[in-house]
Amino acid sequence: MEQVRLVYTSLVQGALPSYNDLAELLRVSRAGNEKLGVTGVLCYAKGVYLQALEGDRDVVSRLYGKICHDRRHKNCQIVVCQSIDRRRFGDWSMKLVAVDNALLEGIELQAMDATQAEAFLGMRADAERRRVP
Ligand X SMILES: Cc1cc2nc3c(=O)[nH]c(=O)nc-3n(C[C@H](O)[C@H](O)[C@H](O)COP(=O)(O)O)c2cc1C
> Applying CB under 6 A, which residues contact ligand X?
25, 28-29, 32-33, 42, 49, 51, 53, 63, 66-67, 70, 72-73, 94
Residue in the shown chain whose Cβ atom is closest to ligand X: 32
Q: Return the number of the residue (94 or 121) whose C-beta is nearest ligand X.
A: 94
Q: Report the SS3 class of residue 67.
A: helix
State the nearest-atom distance from the C-beta of 25 to ligand X, in Å: 6
State the nearest-atom distance from the C-beta of 115 to ligand X, in Å: 22
Q: Return the number of the residue (36 or 103) whose C-beta is nearest ligand X.
A: 36
State the nearest-atom distance from the C-beta of 109 to ligand X, in Å: 12
Q: Report the SS3 class of residue 11.
A: strand
The C-alpha atoms of residue 68 and residue 65 are separated, in whole angstroms, by 5
Q: Return the number of the residue (51 or 118) whose C-beta is nearest ligand X.
A: 51
The C-alpha atoms of residue 29 and residue 25 are separated, in whole angstroms, by 6
C-beta atoms surrounding 88 within 10 Å? 17
Element (H, E) at 22: helix 19-36
State the nearest-atom distance from the C-beta of 13 to ligand X, in Å: 9
The C-alpha atoms of residue 47 and residue 66 are separated, in whole angstroms, by 20
